Amino acid sequence: MTLELQVIDPETDFPSLARCLFDSHEDPPQRFFHVFFPIHGEGDKAREDAINEGATRLKLWHTQDPASYWQKVVDTKTGRVAGGAMWKIYRENPFQSPSPDEDEVTWFPNGGSRTFVECALEEYSIPRARVAQKPHVYLFVLFTHPEYRRKGVGQQFMDWGMKKADQLGYDFFLESTFYGRPLYEANGFLYIEECIVHPETENPEDDWKKIDEKVGLWTFWLMWRPAGGQSKEGKTIRP
Ligand SMILES: CC(C)(COP(=O)(O)OP(=O)(O)OC[C@H]1O[C@@H](n2cnc3c(N)ncnc32)[C@H](O)[C@@H]1OP(=O)(O)O)[C@@H](O)C(=O)NCCC(=O)NCCS
């Protein structure tokens, strides 16, 4: 089996990338995924609708953001997408003038669930905004399809990202899921902080309560690799 790292074609690739993204976060299930890519309703049709909406939105996010860079790893024998990565190569401090489009949570209906997600995404961005106020490489999304795990797919993306960061002389930041940590630890990333997102409000609407129950406590780990990659646990001063 040959698993090849390729640049995506934004015109044709987002439907298969979105499908792989869903498959990857459903096995094992990760509750936070609902914040970004909800399935509204039950059954196969609702899931298909969610994947289609996700593909359209990923394409929009990509084409509207000059910092966005997408890659895929393809099984060259079958043409199947084995994994994907969405990078942001920030050549300027991205927190100086946040894009208003990114704050608009169009994928939830107006009401309590949308307000919940807006609050969650704001909380999510705070830790990195505290430490990454400069040009940097940011890994926003990384996934390997369950059938292609532990075959070096994730590592291919990481090798590319670390090389890119070194060429540019940039720090590399990411927010890791529970399942991503072994990959990043194996690549020498240091922990900056364990973070928990849990929006609160005094009088939650029913929609807010429903999504709160679905997402629960969203835990992630802010991780970092300094420019050049030289770091030592216990010695390197974190940003
Ligand atoms: C995290 C993820 C992308 C790893 O992808 P992968 O293609 O299986 O990773 P690789 O095969 O390239 O692993 C490279 C190295 O990372 C480490 N590693 C990766 N997954 C590991 C696991 N489950 N347990 C222990 N070590 C692991 C190992 O050192 C591995 O090298 P080895 O297989 O030679 O021991 C994949 O598990 C995934 O998609 N998870 C669900 C989505 C997700 O949470 N993504 C992370 C977003 S931050």
Q: What is the pLDDT along the chain (239 residues), one digit of tens a residue?
A: 899 999 999 999 999 999 999 999 999 999 999 999 999 999 999 999 999 999 999 999 999 999 999 999 999 999 999 999 999 999 999 999 766 555 689 999 999 999 999 999 999 999 999 999 999 999 999 999 999 999 999 999 999 999 999 999 999 999 999 999 999 999 999 999 999 999 999 999 999 999 999 999 999 999 999 999 988 888 888 99
Residue 173 within a domain:
yes
Residue 230 falls within a domain, yes or no? no
Residue 236's pLDDT is what?
Answer: 87
Q: How far is the CA of 41 from the centre of ligand 1 (A)?
A: 31
Give me the pLDDT at residue 104, please.
Answer: 87
pLDDT at 100: 54
The answer to whether residue 125 is domain-embedded is yes
Residue 233 lies in a domain: no
236 found inside a domain: no
Structurally, the chain folds into a number of domains equal to: 1
Length of the chain: 239
Instruction: Tell me which residue has its CA closest to atom 27 in ligand 1.
Output: 182
Whose Cα sits closest to atom 18 in ligand 1? 183
CATH of the domain at 164: 3.40.630.30
Q: Output the pLDDT for position 62.
A: 97
Residue range(s) defining the domain that contains residue 128 = 3-225
**Residues whose CB falls within 8 Å of the CB of residue 55, separated by 6 or more in sequence, listed in order:** 14, 15, 17, 18, 19
Task: Tell me the CA–centroid distance for residue 184 and ligand 1, in Å.
Answer: 8
Rounded CA gap, 175 and 191, in Å? 10
Specify the pLDDT at position 231: 85
The pLDDT assigned to 215 comes to: 98
